[in-house]
A and B are shown apart, each in its own frame.
Chain A
Amino acid sequence: MAPRTCALCESAKAMLKRPKTGQQICRDCFFYVFETEVHNTIVQSKLFQPGDRVAIGASGGKDSTVLACVMKTLNDRYNYGLDLFLLSIDEGITGYRDDSLETVKRNQQQYEMPLKILSYDELYGWTMDAIVSQVGRKNNCTFCGVFRRQALDRGAAMLHVDHIVTGHNADDIAETVLMNIMRGDIARLGRCTAICTQGEDTIRRSKPFKYAYEKEIVMYAYFKKLDYFSTECIYSPDAYRGHARVFLKELEAARPSAIIDIIHSGEAFEVREEVKATQRVQQTCIRCGYMSSNDLCKACTLLEGLERGMASAGITDRGRKQLESQGPAPDNLRTIPFFKLPLGNPTIAIESTS
């Protein structure tokens, strides 16, 4: 069979079938359309202003590795005028993050971007290894998940950046739409397709890969020969996300546009006004200033439990009651530093590329 010609440039030999459109195109056209679609997303959503300091949440996985590459390319190509940084979180698990952090360090050299690796130890005074030694393996993920959610914001505040970008892709977002419908989480459903989220007291956070297919991100990394570290999180088979993920893969196989179609659906509806009025108002933690649904945020509750030797305080109602029965927290309790939005110059040193 004669080689097919690229459906876009109509001159080069087609090298791949594009997962998003099914078109047979050449490698250079693939790079061009992939990067241009991300550029279109950035421009259309007015994500950045010239001079913005932008931290790329870098885990060393495929999404953030490709994001760093594309952000660097687009910043140079279209003169965005951004100061780009890499921001990684080290949970402090011996032998777990080492490989992926090496990938991030290579990105730092390759793209000449300053890198800050922020550890749980630095932020919370506890490594995950230390937490596991106290709570055991059963509930350690509770601590890791809650601490990680705050870590990027706190790291970004230390770097004095205006904006964090993360590698969430189209598959992640479509999956989240389905999951939130299935579990009736109307509050998250209303905001999960937003490209940019910013609370009053948090740093702007965006997803430039909102419309980029996971398969195309892998394809981009493959053709650009980017190396990344693959870490799969194994969810329980009975988790909502697990069901949503399996279903989404079937939909994508039936019609690839299903991923974009679901995101489009999520963007086309909103929570009804009378329902919004009944939703809980977001507040800030009285101890650390981070956003919270209660007086004390989950991270502060967990940390207090660790510090007072009652690790279950943040996990079960019984543990919390037990902690409360012991009286108020002592004055000398180690706490998370108060969260403040960045003003002025960075307060911490970052690793330069030289």
Chain B
Amino acid sequence: MAGSIAERVYHLKRSRWSVLAGVLPILSVYVALLVIPMLLLGQFSLYRKLTGEMGQVVLIREVSLANYAKFLASPFYFRILKDTLVMALTVTGLCVLLGYPVAFSLSRARRWKGILYLLVLAPFFVSVVIRTYGWMVILGHNGLVNWLLLASGLVTAPVPLIYNYTGILIGVTHIMLPYMVITLEAVLRKIDRSLIEAAQGLGANPWQAFSRVIFPLSLPGLVAGSLLVFALSVSIFTTPSLMGGGRIHLMSTIIYEETMGQVNWPSGAMLAWVLLVTTLAVLGLSQLAARRFEWRR
């Protein structure tokens, strides 16, 4: 006969249904708020928008690939997609270069660990908009950086650091850095310190111990952090739209412009899907590449 409730729960836990039960809440949120809207967007991307004689927007509910054909035929769109990918890759690279030393020191820190961790996370406590305005103050024409450059005599005229590509890179890298640091640190922290001693005992100097032991062992964290930063950077909107000053177009800003400015939902939806597919393709390819570095525990 059936056992106690505890027993039945135990058996339930062992079954594969329990896995489903565990992910069901988050899965339903994903389906309701992400999958269904994205599918609806996909549907929209196959329609067309017409502007009526009186300026009214008319949605032609005819399935066609016209929007995608427009994308493929447009060097303008291609350049924006390319700029977006290059921006996201550059940001990822900058985050690796700037984040690795921070994550490494953080993973070795003892006494100040809590405070250092808080400092790394501090940017999250301030809204993206506020942070971006902060950068505008620092990087602007009459900002701190230019004042210092002019005062030191390094330049004779203010350097444009904002409302251009450079400004976007600085702003987005700043926002993405904590993600890289946290992901990397989690992996670096788990690397057994005695491995460094083992390497040194075998004759490896500190640099060799790092390059032959620590670095290879941190690769999973580097890959995970890079994927995270790349995926977030590719679709980031607030910072590029503010720091770019409307002069630099990225996929996110152009999607906003098509959808809200031009009220061309089908075109905006098409661009959103192009971005989604491209991002997934890049992530998939890098996963394949990452597998070559992988070792099984």
- The answer to whether A and B belong to the same complex is no
A interface residues with partner B (beta carbon < 8 Å): none
